[in-house]
Amino acid sequence: MDDVTAGPAVPMVVRRINAPKDRLIVALDFPSADAAMELVGRLDGCCRWFKVGMELYYAAGNRVIEGLRERGYEVFLDLKLHDIPNTVAGAVRSVTGLGASLLTVHAGGGGPMMRAAVEAASLPGAPKLLAVTVLTSMDKAELHAVGVSDAPAKQVLRLARLAQTAGIGGLVCSAEEVEAVRKAMGSEMLLVVPGIRPQSTLARSDDQRRVATAAEAIARGASMLVVGRPITQAADPARAASGILAEIAASQQG
């Protein structure tokens, strides 16, 4: 991955979120920086936030974050860190100063790991941490297969409380659990919800099981929404993004 050659970037302080553009994160799930930035160009003016996940970050490294920041966009760095506490803390320090505003760790890594991440994220220029609870690709059967006997909703709440106790101020959960998580965590917890689909595509089968529309997720208490394929694979990505933004705006007025 690229070395950091520029001076430290200052990530956005995630403030109280109101505008639809503050709530939408477009997932740049691409295998190269060129493909990702081509999509970014097609969405120019439509979006404020982009998610850089493992596929793109492993392919392009720090330069894709720097490229997005140079264009004025906010970056959600979705690396889902999960390792021993010292290693995760080191990873948090390694990405501090790149300009990413949000960074994910796995809540399943446990309290000591999350506390180490929180301590590392106290440095200037560090991103705000989000704890991933249960992946949207997992249903009850998948959880049982890895030794978790509880339903996703119960496991999400367990991990959410663990993350909050560790000092993490944001969570990633599906729309199915976000209402219960909001009630349990309070109004200040940042709740980021992936698996967002237009109503017309909810019945389609893909690797995400626990999905919802943007309006449903906002109504249940989501702070921000992550949308990938419904925008990135659309014939007209800007039009698709505008449709999601309109749905968010309408749900806020309702």
CA 14 to chain centre: 13
Q: Residue 212's pLDDT is what? A: 85
Please indicate, yes or no, if residue 3 is contained in any of the structural domains.
no
Please indicate, yes or no, if residue 8 is contained in any of the structural domains.
no
Domains held by the chain: number: 1
Please indicate, yes or no, if residue 13 is contained in any of the structural domains.
no
Q: Residue 230's pLDDT is what? A: 93
- Environment class of 175 (CB within 10 Å of its CB; exposed 0-12, middle 13-18, buried 19+): buried
Higher per-residue confidence, 88 vs 207: 88
Told to judge if 80 belongs to the known catalytic residues of this protein, a careful annotator would answer yes
Task: Identify which of 37, 32, 28, 97 has the alpha carbon closest to the alpha carbon of residue 67.
Answer: 37
Per-residue model confidence as pLDDT tens digits over 108-154: 999 999 999 999 999 999 999 999 999 888 888 989 899 898 898 99
Number of CB atoms found within 10 A of residue 242's CB: 17
Please spell the DSSP secondary structure of 48-113, one letter per residue.
SEEEEEHHHHHHHTHHHHHHHHHTT-EEEEEEEE-S-HHHHHHHHHHHTTS--SEEEEEGGG-HHH
Please indicate, yes or no, if residue 118 is contained in any of the structural domains.
yes
Per-residue model confidence as pLDDT tens digits over 1-17: 333 333 344 455 555 57
Please indicate, yes or no, if residue 2 is contained in any of the structural domains.
no
Choosing from 21, 51, 80, 128, which is the catalytic residue? 80
111-120 vs 85-95: helix crossing angle, rounded to 10: 30
Please indicate, yes or no, if residue 12 is contained in any of the structural domains.
no
Range of the domain at 51: 20-253
Q: Are 104 and 79 contacting, i.e. CB atoms less than 8 angstroms apart?
A: yes
Please indicate, yes or no, if residue 6 is contained in any of the structural domains.
no
End-to-end CA distance of the chain: 45
Residue showing tokens 């991990």: 159
CATH (domain of 55): 3.20.20.70
Per-residue model confidence as pLDDT tens digits over 181-213: 999 999 999 999 998 987 655 445 455 556 789
Residue 170, amino acid: G
Model confidence pTM above 0.85: yes
Please indicate, yes or no, if residue 246 is contained in any of the structural domains.
yes
CA 205 to chain centre: 22
